[in-house]
Amino acid sequence: DDSPNSWEARADAHSFYGFTDLPSIAERGTVVLTHGEGPYVFDVHGRKFLDANSGLWNMVAGFDHKGMAEAAKAQYDRFPGYHAFFGRMSDQTVMLSEKLIDVSPFERGKVFYTNSGSEANDTLVKMLWFLGGAEGKPERRKILTRKNGYHGVTAVSASMTGKPYNDVFGLPLPGFIHLTCPHYWREGRDGESEAEFTARMGSELEEVIAREGADTIAAFVAEPVMGAGGVIPPSEGYFQTVAPILKKHGIPLVADEVITGFGRTGSDWGCQAYDFMPDAIISSKNLTAGYFPMGAVILGPEMSDRLQAAVDEIEEFPHGFTASGHPVGCAVALKAIEVIMDGSDGAAPLIDNVRALTPKFEAEMARLAQHPHIGEARGKGLMGALEAVKDKATKTPFDGSLSVSERIANTCTDHGLICRPLGQAVVLCPAFIMTEPQMDEMFQKLEAALNRVFEDVV
Give the residues lining the site for ligand PLP (CB under 6 A): 56, 116-118, 121, 150-152, 223, 227-228, 256, 258-259, 284
* Alpha carbon separation from 424 to 251, 320, 362, 387, 396 (Å, rounded): 34, 39, 20, 6, 11
The least distance separating ligand PLP from the CB of residue 293, rounded to whole angstroms, comes to 7
The least distance separating ligand PLP from the CB of residue 53, rounded to whole angstroms, comes to 11
Nearer to ligand PLP, 58 or 92 (CB): 58
The least distance separating ligand PLP from the CB of residue 248, rounded to whole angstroms, comes to 26
Q: Which residue is nearest to ligand PLP (CB)?
A: 117
Question: Are 145 and 152 spatial neighbours (Cβ–Cβ below 8 Å)?
Answer: no
Question: Are 298 and 109 spatial neighbours (Cβ–Cβ below 8 Å)?
Answer: yes
The least distance separating ligand PLP from the CB of residue 52, rounded to whole angstroms, comes to 16
Distance CA 279, CA 283 (A): 13
Nearer to ligand PLP, 150 or 239 (CB): 150
Nearer to ligand PLP, 209 or 418 (CB): 418
The least distance separating ligand PLP from the CB of residue 232, rounded to whole angstroms, comes to 12
Nearer to ligand PLP, 97 or 284 (CB): 284
Helix or strand holding residue 380 (H, E): strand 374-380
Question: Are 421 and 339 spatial neighbours (Cβ–Cβ below 8 Å)?
Answer: no
The least distance separating ligand PLP from the CB of residue 182, rounded to whole angstroms, comes to 15
Helix or strand holding residue 412 (H, E): helix 404-414
Nearer to ligand PLP, 256 or 387 (CB): 256
The least distance separating ligand PLP from the CB of residue 240, rounded to whole angstroms, comes to 21
* Alpha carbon separation from 272 to 83, 257, 318, 410 (Å, rounded): 32, 11, 33, 35
- Where do runs of H (alpha helix) occur along 315-349? 327-337
Neighbours of 244 (CB within 10 A): 12
Q: Based on the number of CB atoms within 10 Å of its own CB, is 20 exposed (0-12), middle (13-18) or buried (19 or more)?
A: exposed
Nearer to ligand PLP, 125 or 228 (CB): 228
Question: Are 325 and 83 spatial neighbours (Cβ–Cβ below 8 Å)?
Answer: yes
Nearer to ligand PLP, 116 or 424 (CB): 116
Q: Which of 188, 185, 337 is nearest to 261 (CA)?
A: 337
